[in-house]
Amino acid sequence: LTAGTKCSGCGIVLQNESPDHPGYIPAQALERTPLLCQRCFRIRNYNESSTVTVDQSEFLRLLGQVGEQDALVIHIVDLFDFHGSVISGLQRFVGNNPVVLAVNKTDLLPKVTNWNKIRNWVQKEAKELGLKVEDIVLCSAKQNTGFDRLLDIVGSMRGDRDVYVVGATNVGKSTLINRLISDYSDLEEELTTSRYPGTTLDTVNIPLDDGHYIIDTPGIVYESRYTELVNKQDLAAIMPDKPLKPLVYQLNEGQSLFFGAMARFDFVQGGHQSFTFYLNNRLKIHRTKLERADELFANHAGVMLAPPVKADLDKLPAWTRHELRILKGKPTDIFISGLGWIKANSTDGALVAVHLPKGVKVMMRPSLI
């Protein structure tokens, strides 16, 4: 591959080292003409897009372009990892362009869920983060719900504009894009990705019939999400694939829980109370005394306390302890990006601590459920 060779679909500089990054072309595809990056090849031949990722600075550069155009933006986030997947700085970049917030993976919430409450919660949290959203659509790419509403909104708000789709990795963006491709493109015609004038082309541009495009931007990688730190196998252990079954634990102060060897929760101080755990139900919970927890981890992490298994645990950053004071008055979630959340049900307040690999985001938020 000659340095600087470009994809004839989207124009990005081709590379054959990193499958997850823009411009990837597998070695065997170098023989083909025209030369296409893997993403353009898949769109052209299988009518399907796949995820490509970029780091924060590259992503911000891309977003900067959005603000300079007249466009509609679909911001897709993962409801299971809302505060980990939301692009909180988006507002600065999109300028005055309208944003539709698509909140995906609704199928992961418990079967009985008050969706009005969820909607209000999303609205409030988005506002809190400084995001201005025209509309919120709760959807599930997996169950194919909410998409009709999203397509309707896009149809009515798009006007004479392009549509940008932005999101973090793993939020379901490809699934959504593939749905848009099949809805908007005439399958009998050859579907092509297309060069969009005036942009540096790390995007995939799906032509619409009126000369506009749906522009799929690469997924931004947030290293503060647990899901970005673990290998594929452990990813399946933490990322749920079916509705959560919340687990309620009645705890006394001085008790600790391990979630495999992914994280530890200590109830440091407070009256007897209950906590509800919204985590992948495949994670085994192990209860112990706080005073014994360090020793237990030292002796059993990666074996009795797993996943991750020992070898993988050693590849993760060392744990840090986050002490959190839950205030009196309203139900609070302790949110752990990529892993889920713990709801403190009591409104009496408590002092708790969470132990996690360094870098994984932990925060308190008003209860989602």
CB of 168 to ligand GDP, least distance (A): 7
SS3 assignment for 51-115: CCEECHHHHHHHHHHHHCCCEEEEEEEEHHHHHHHCCCCHHHHHCCCCEEEEEECHHHCCCCCCH
Of 11 and 219, the one with the shorter C-beta distance to ligand GDP is 219
CB of 78 to ligand GDP, least distance (A): 8
**Residues 42, 75, 83, 173: which binds ligand GDP (CB under 6 A)?**
173
Of 104 and 273, the one with the shorter C-beta distance to ligand GDP is 104
Angstrom distance (rounded) from CA 200 to CA 210: 22
Stretch that binds ligand GDP, among 8-16, 147-155, 163-171, 349-357 (CB under 6 A): 163-171
**Residues 38, 65, 97, 174: which binds ligand GDP (CB under 6 A)?**
174
Structure tokens at 86: 């939301």
**Residues 9, 11, 167, 340: which binds ligand GDP (CB under 6 A)?**
167
Quick note: the x/- pattern for ligand GDP over 245-284, rule CB under 6 A, is ----------------------------------------
Cβ 161 vs Cβ 99: under 8 Å: no
| 107 lies in the site for ligand GDP, by CB under 6 A | yes
- Three-state DSSP at 358 gives coil
Residues in region 45-64 near ligand GDP by CB under 6 A: 51
- With b for 16 or more beta-carbon neighbours within 10 A and e for fewer, the 325-355 pattern comes to ebeeeeebbbbbbbbbbbbbebeebbebbbb
Quick note: the x/- pattern for ligand GDP over 199-228, rule CB under 6 A, is --------------------x---------
CB of 193 to ligand GDP, least distance (A): 16
Going by C-beta distance under 8 Å and a sequence separation of 6 or more, which residues neighbour residue 296? 258, 286, 288, 305
Residues that bind ligand GDP (CB under 6 A): 51, 104-105, 107-108, 140-142, 167, 169-175, 219, 241
